[in-house]
Chains A and B, each alone.
Chain A
Amino acid sequence: LAKTTQPISMDSYEGQEVNITCSHNNIATNDYITWYQQFPSQGPRFIIQGYKTKVTNEVASLFIPADRKSSTLSLPRVSLSDTAVYYCLVGESNFGNEKLTFGTGTRLTIIP
């Protein structure tokens, strides 16, 4: 499994766009990049997944450069409810016998 590196914490003001970058230098050809969000005392919640270029859904965008050695989760116009821990994971899309490996994530704090 490719190891990921992301900032331990970030602060942002309400209404701003927040970009969280994850480094995964050893990503393999078959690996997908997945981001999860976790609120205190709750299980992680899937946000977005991508393989290359850009993926957008109703809550976030995921930007992946051509070399795929990093990815950026973009949260538009954050609100206080976006305060959470965000995890970047890399692994094969068909998880098969592979388990997700979480790091310590990025603790995002939104300031009013």
Chain B
Amino acid sequence: DTGVSQDPRHKITKRGQNVTFRCDPISEHNRLYWYRQTLGQGPEFLTYFQNEAQLEKSRLLSDRFSAERPKGSFSTLEIQRTEQGDSAMYLCASTEDRATGNTIYFGEGSWLTVV
């Protein structure tokens, strides 16, 4: 168990550019989540996958945001035409699909700074 891995850990981009973050969940975890966290706030839910199916998207996920999990393993989160308000830490998490006592494991996050 190597934990949830996110890449890159830090990204600085100019406003208007596109960025993509990658998440590798814990192996055999079929659920994968993306969250966003700004300074002083708790993580906010963005979207969730069950295997390759994207089952829920938050209203926070504007049309500039897209997430994929093509083979039910790793996932990518792309932000198009970045804005300064997109600056945040983007967290990926995964969990097993068990009936009780699920624990969601988070990665270390990917910091985005839009200048």
Interface residues of A (CB under 8 A from B): 32, 34, 36, 41-46, 49, 85, 87, 93-95, 97, 99-105
B25 CB contacts on chain A under 8 angstroms: none
B108 x A49 contact (CB < 8 A) = no
The interface residues of chain A, by DSSP majority, are classed as loop
Partner of B43, one of A32, A34, A102: A102
Pick from A43, A46, A97: contact of B107, CB under 8 Å? A43
Q: B31 near A: Cβ within 8 Å?
A: yes
Whether A43 contacts B91 in the complex (CB less than 8 A), given A87-B42, A94-B99, A102-B42, comes out as yes
Partner of B95, one of A43, A95, A97: A95
> Is the pair A97, B42 in contact by a Cβ cutoff of 8 Å?
no
**Is B41 an interface residue when CB atoms closer than 8 A count as contact?**
yes
Size category of the B interface is 20 to 34
Please determine whether B41 and A42 come into contact, CB atoms closer than 8 angstroms: no
Contacts A43-B4, A104-B41 aside, 18 further interface pairs with beta carbons under 8 A come to: A34-B103, A42-B108, A44-B106, A46-B103, A46-B104, A87-B42, A94-B97, A94-B99, A94-B100, A95-B95, A95-B104, A97-B48, A99-B33, A99-B56, A100-B43, A102-B42, A103-B42, A105-B42
Q: Report the minimum CB–CB distance from A27 to chain B (whole Å).
A: 16
A94 to B104, CA, bound (A): 11
- In whole Å, how far is A21's beta carbon from the nearest beta carbon of chain B? 17
* B111 and A49 contacting across the interface, CB-CB below 8 Å: no
4 closest A-B pairs by beta carbon, nearest first, are A102-B42, A43-B106, A99-B45, A93-B100
Instruction: Select from chain A the residue with minimum beta-carbon distance to B109.
Output: A43
Can you name the residue of chain B whose Cβ is closest to the Cβ of A32? B101
**Chain A positions within 8 Å of B98 at CB level:** 94
In angstroms, Cα B22 to Cα A70, docked, is 37
